[in-house]
Amino acid sequence: MCKSLHIFFFVCIFARFIGNIISVCLTICPMPQSPLVSICCITYNHAPFIRQCLDGFLMQLPPSCISKDAKMSDWCEILIHDDASTDGTTDVIREYEARYPDLIKPIYETVNQYQNGHKTDIDFFNYRRAKGKYIAYCEGDDYWTIPDKLRRQVDFLEQHPSYSVCFHLARIYETYSGILRPLYYDFRQPMEVDEDVTPEYFLRSSVGQPLTMVFRTSRYDFDWVNHYNDYCDTMEIYHLLRTGKGRMMKFVGGQYNLHSGGVSATQDCCQRSVETMDDYMTMYLYMGDKELLTFYVNSVFFAREDCEKHGKMPLFREWMTRLRRKSFRLWAYYHFVDCKRKIKSIIKPKNQR
């Protein structure tokens, strides 16, 4: 019995001794901590804009839960995917990487992945290596305009765990015309207070641009992208809003640059309308949400009006032919709603005749 007690006390003392040694070692050589925020940036031939974009990242102040004296690399990582740029964008990124090796972590492609059919949109490569509790997104031709943009958004998410994602207002700059204007929000109505964003509200108002969003990494599901041929920010934001609440913050914190090399500038309104229609259709076929069906039908009517107005009905008819082959049910539902609208316009109430 005494021998067993001696062994027991010896084991306890030895364990405590080992524990003290481990504590001292961790104090001298602390274990690396995961960053609080992962800034994710995709870029391709953004040489006129990439420097301003990176400077917008580097000026960010730490969130309130981080010491004011902390280095940015202690709480943040900047992940960049350069898709084989040919205009000098890569050289600028290498310059910044050399200055901030612990903070900026690029991937340099030698072959353009998007042109090879890889799903680079919205951020296939960076999201998979992000270690942060939160992900902030901004493409290389856009930039953040205020130093406390991340602080405000991360502080909000830290204090409100039921929220998955938050956004802020932004402005849009047309580089080819020199026009600077507010980036649309709620059909361009002014915003006076912070507001919650539901999935239905997002679809109706087009609130929440990628350069303005910060979301919880834990709420992101990498399986989402596998259900779409062309996964885009509309789908990502809608999915995030289905995992928790969303918040639109009224401060202006970024700029979206509309330029001749960007995708938006190379598309006319008819192309954009048809793509929006296609997005809603694909999302509805995957998720089956009732509000998606409503917005899908409305988007079809908007696209038809745009194509009729600009003399591009062949584009609309071509898409409708593809729709009939892909989902006869949705094609028939659109024509059913169209017939109802036409009947209502013929049989008007007496007070409207």
User: What does the pLDDT average to over 51-80?
Assistant: 95
The residue among 208 and 10 whose pLDDT is bigger is: 208
pLDDT per residue as tens digits for the range 12-34:
555 565 555 444 343 433 434 68
Q: What is the mean pLDDT of the chain?
A: 82
Q: Quick one: what percent of the chain has pLDDT higher than 90?
A: 43
- pLDDT exceeds cutoff 60 at 188: no
- Residue 326 belongs to domain spanning: 267-346
Instruction: Establish if 163 belongs to a structural domain.
Output: yes
* Shared domain check, 280 and 163: no
Range with the lowest mean pLDDT among 19-23, 85-89, 207-211, 347-351? 19-23
Which pLDDT band, with edges at 50, 70 and 90, does 121 fall under?
low
pLDDT at 32: 43
User: What does the pLDDT average to over 302-310?
Assistant: 83
Pair 57, 39: CB distance under 8 Å: yes
Domain boundary among 246, 264, 282: 264
CA–CA separation, 132 and 220 (whole Å): 12
Which pLDDT band, with edges at 50, 70 and 90, does 267 fall under?
low
The residue among 208 and 201 whose pLDDT is bigger is: 201
Q: Which residue has the tokens 């999302």?
A: 283
Range with the lowest mean pLDDT among 113-117, 140-144, 197-201? 113-117
pLDDT at 151: 97
Pair 168, 248: CB distance under 8 Å: yes
**pTM (two decimals):** 0.81
**Nearest Cα residue to 168 out of 131, 127, 136:** 136
Instruction: Establish if 16 belongs to a structural domain.
Output: no
CATH number at residue 260: 3.90.550.10
Domain boundary among 223, 242, 264: 264
- pLDDT exceeds cutoff 70 at 7: no
CA–CA separation, 325 and 14 (whole Å): 73
- pLDDT exceeds cutoff 60 at 82: yes
**Nearest Cα residue to 147 out of 57, 225, 75:** 57
Q: Where are the beta strands (DSSP E) in the chain?
A: 37-43, 76-82, 104-108, 134-137, 143-144, 163-174, 179-182, 195-197, 214-216, 245-258
Q: Where are the beta strands (DSSP E) in 177-226?
A: 179-182, 195-197, 214-216
In the chain, how many domains are there? 2
Q: Quick one: what percent of the chain has pLDDT higher than 70?
A: 82
Which pLDDT band, with edges at 50, 70 and 90, does 187 fall under?
very low
* Shared domain check, 336 and 289: yes
Which pLDDT band, with edges at 50, 70 and 90, does 303 fall under?
confident
10 Å Cβ neighbour count for 195? 18
* Shared domain check, 298 and 258: no
